[in-house]
Amino acid sequence: MMKISRVAMATITLAGMAGLSAAQPKADPKAPGADMSAMKMPTAPQALADMSKMMTGTWKCTGKSIGMDMKTMEDMTGAMKRKLEMDGFWMHSAFDAKMGKMPFHFDSYETVDAKNGWRQIMVSSGGEYSVGTSDGPKDNKIDWMIESHSSMGSGHGKDHIDWSDMKTGVKAMGEWSMDGGKTFNKIYEMICKK
């Protein structure tokens, strides 16, 4: 059986790679993306900056959330901290609450994708993560369609946020579907004030 040294294998490999690179066609300097010096740094979404003027800060929240029995609504209290991060590209929300006696935490990030609209990514205590999509704010309200995943399975939700009356506070209400998005039931409602 013939043995080939590592040095010989490396030499053969490098020679083959050199041959492949020499055989590649030359890049067209007029092709899109060919001139890296023409690339511009992206700018943070103005729509997110506009929304952040109303939403940044620390909020005290009270409301009701569905209990562990998935039937009764329990008292909920919490605090939400919201701020623009990552050079203005993401709005970060950190929420700590008690739903009944059970503590709950989530972190979410929202941004605006120029092609696809508003996007949200959330992770929460209990191992859940979700991705949300929205057409964006209208009349100081925003609705999110949510796809959620956890060790208990996957599901569909809706979040409705309304900041049209800041004297009352920011109203939030969430719905959850147990049948693949055919019907939705309320799982929480709260009002948050600065």
Domain limits of the chain?
A: 46-193
Sole residue written with tokens 């599901």: 155
Span 73-122, pLDDT tens digits: 889 999 999 999 999 999 999 999 998 888 999 999 999 987 779 999 99
Instruction: Quote the CA–CA distance of 170 and 58 in Å, as a whole number.
Output: 12
Span 109-118, pLDDT tens digits: 999 987 779 9
Average pLDDT for the chain: 83
Instruction: Quote the CA–CA distance of 158 and 190 in Å, as a whole number.
Output: 14
Cβ count within 10 A of residue 182: 8
CATH homologous superfamily of 46-193 equals Calycin beta-barrel core domain (2.40.128.20)
The 3-state DSSP class for residue 85 equals strand
Please report the sign of the dihedral spanned by the C-alpha atoms of residue 74, residue 75, residue 79, residue 85.
positive
